[in-house]
Chain A
């Protein structure tokens, strides 16, 4: 009988290659290596920013200098030398584009390889897209069509120029620069990102999407995304990420802020596939992200869905502050780790308003020698009468060398609050595999089937095309990881 034991196939895992590990050969313009007040000024000047923005950055930089790196997460990595990172890299030809034809052919090749090539395809798929490579936003499609409805979807740099008042009002309102070490760093040096404003009563007619890619060597990517949904509006936003394969670690420290006003709904989906490092744990992206949304208004709703397959280290907790009465927060997550990947991810649901509800569904899958932790806080504050949370955290292990951990923190300060927590850990069962095999479903396909079944509750929250992409990524990540 052919021996398809886990151990043998686990070794094969290393043969699975990262599909997006190419670099794009465009002329780059860099800032000097390292971080100083001058660098902050340089970035701001490069972007021709107004004085208030520079002041804001400098203040954040001063705060960052006083802060220390947090070390509470269940993660192990060498100390980052923040002076060896380049904080700004941009393609030299500054593209001011009116149509797709004007995009640098090298960048278009990148899009082709990423499979996001033709914006025409997106037209069919009804997705408006912004593409951020390293520090600069390259292209935002569908701008005009959205403008007609009063929707603003552009790079944050452009928003600072064109919609300064809106940016000024909201930036840092959900994630203040002083919030944590990495948010302070991001606030000082953020280079680009996306900005979305949905006016009152408008339902955004298409998915808005940003594709982030780190390309240049030794650069950090610090994008900043700000989404505001005014009263009675709705928007669904998708974020995708890749990076080239490099031996050294690359730092990614983004900040995402969401604001939902009365009865507004924001759905934010991420498929994160940063380079995870090789089979020996060399290289890979450090993904240290602060994502937070505030349900400011009555009956507002924010829903985070994330599929995390990449990065050497993932450290993020997309959170909801449920301030408005009857507001709803949701968090759906699939985090997959293989080889030496580490993930410490989860959410915070802060119930402030009355009758607020939140729901957490977290699925962690660990293979190889990876470590996968769920960390979540559910807090019900004194005035949050009749609030309710349901949390479900399931972990799946493949092989005997990986780990899954669950750290739920629950703080209830109101007697009418109700919190339910369910957790499970399972191994892909030999009996499950044999059952599939006996029906003619081979080992590889059986793992896909079982894993996809395990993640189903989360995948169904994703927009259709994204769900398909997520499923494929999961399959690539876990290729050959179990027999």
Chain B
């Protein structure tokens, strides 16, 4: 589904990604771990098409199609979703209206008519249950005055509504207490199927107790330096990132 080859990218003069390779097939869950400042979140932003980065080398293929030149909305229409580390507030715009706009724009891009009101409301009702989101949240301004946990649950709710193929979760576990973490993880697990894929970016092994990955990648200094199964995350937890650094130094 996603294949990233030798990706180099920079912000202004600073090179952040230095030859990143990753391949994600449908039905798989991949975790990317690594210390602060190694470019994990930058990678998520570049995948989604955020402005301000320059790709200097390499390719991003989504279902075989090069997407580096596409704007973020086009990528979303193809089925890419980013759960934000810091979800953004939009005063006066309810989650309901936001989702309606998002779904209808996607439908428009695929030549479909706008969603019917009844179908939309039923969908809202069903999907909000996945992350135990109260009805009142849907009518409030999106993310405004939401707690950290509510914001992240809202992200997963949106993911459920948009039914993307590739879901990128950017440190979704940060700022979550254990209950919220469980709800968010349950939500993600219920959305897993053989047709979609997940890329979970996190600092901590904790989230991976709930969302069990097929692959764990360790990212360091703009590259993936180690890949393994879920046991790699446990090993990393035990030995710390210094272990990775010293292994690299020996090479």
Chain B residues whose C-beta falls within 8 Å of the C-beta of A453 in the assembled complex: 90-93, 141
Residues of chain B in range 57-97 having any CB-CB distance to chain A below 8 Å: 68-73, 75-77, 81-82, 84, 87-93, 97
Residues of A within 8 A of B (CB): 1-5, 429-432, 434-443, 445, 449-450, 452-457
Q: Tell me which of A2, A4, A429, A454 has the highest count of chain B C-beta atoms within 10 A of its own C-beta.
A: A2
Please give 17 more A-B residue pairs, beta carbons under 8 A apart, in addition to A435-B88, A435-B90, A450-B93. Answer: A1-B51, A2-B70, A3-B51, A4-B51, A434-B48, A434-B50, A436-B102, A437-B72, A438-B84, A439-B98, A440-B102, A440-B106, A441-B73, A445-B105, A449-B101, A452-B93, A456-B92
What is the number of residues of chain B that contact chain A, defined by CB distance less than 8 Å? Answer: 35
Chain B residues whose C-beta falls within 8 Å of the C-beta of A452 in the assembled complex: 92-93
A313 to B231, CA, bound (A): 68
Would you give the shortest CB distance from A364 to chain B, in whole angstroms?
15
Out of A2, A434, A449, which one reaches B98, CB within 8 Å?
A: A449
Chain B residues whose C-beta falls within 8 Å of the C-beta of A435 in the assembled complex: 84, 87-88, 90
Out of B51, B92, B93, B109, which one reaches A457, CB within 8 Å?
A: B92
Please determine whether B93 and A1 come into contact, CB atoms closer than 8 angstroms: no
A2 to B84, CA, bound (A): 22
Chain B residues whose C-beta falls within 8 Å of the C-beta of A431 in the assembled complex: 88
Cβ of B162 within 8 Å of any chain A Cβ, yes or no, is yes
Please determine whether A5 and B51 come into contact, CB atoms closer than 8 angstroms: yes
Cβ of B49 within 8 Å of any chain A Cβ, yes or no, is yes
Chain A residues whose C-beta falls within 8 Å of the C-beta of B158 in the assembled complex: 439
Please determine whether B88 and A437 come into contact, CB atoms closer than 8 angstroms: no
Please determine whether B76 and A439 come into contact, CB atoms closer than 8 angstroms: yes
Please determine whether B92 and A437 come into contact, CB atoms closer than 8 angstroms: no
Out of B91, B101, B141, which one reaches A441, CB within 8 Å?
A: B101
Q: Tell me which of A430, A436, A443 has the highest count of chain B C-beta atoms within 10 A of its own C-beta.
A: A436
A442 to B97, CA, bound (A): 15
Chain B residues whose C-beta falls within 8 Å of the C-beta of A439 in the assembled complex: 76, 98, 101-102, 158, 162
Out of B50, B71, B77, B93, which one reaches A449, CB within 8 Å?
A: B93
Q: Tell me which of A432, A440, A455 has the highest count of chain B C-beta atoms within 10 A of its own C-beta.
A: A440
Chain A residues whose C-beta falls within 8 Å of the C-beta of B98 in the assembled complex: 436, 439, 441, 449
A453 to B92, CA, bound (A): 4
Residue pairs across A and B with Cβ atoms less than 8 A apart, 16 shown, are A1-B51, A1-B68, A2-B70, A430-B51, A437-B49, A437-B73, A438-B48, A438-B81, A438-B82, A439-B158, A439-B162, A440-B73, A452-B92, A453-B91, A453-B92, A453-B93
Would you give the shortest CB distance from A470 to chain B, in whole angstroms?
14
Please determine whether A442 and B88 come into contact, CB atoms closer than 8 angstroms: no
Please determine whether A445 and B101 come into contact, CB atoms closer than 8 angstroms: yes
Would you give the shortest CB distance from A435 to chain B, in whole angstroms?
4
Chain A residues whose C-beta falls within 8 Å of the C-beta of B90 in the assembled complex: 432, 435-436, 449-450, 453
A312 to B98, CA, bound (A): 33
Chain B residues whose C-beta falls within 8 Å of the C-beta of A450 in the assembled complex: 90, 93
Would you give the shortest CB distance from B134 to chain A, in whole angstroms?
21
A369 to B50, CA, bound (A): 27
A450 to B101, CA, bound (A): 12
Would you give the shortest CB distance from A12 to chain B, in whole angstroms?
16
A4 to B72, CA, bound (A): 11
Would you give the shortest CB distance from B55 to chain A, in whole angstroms?
8
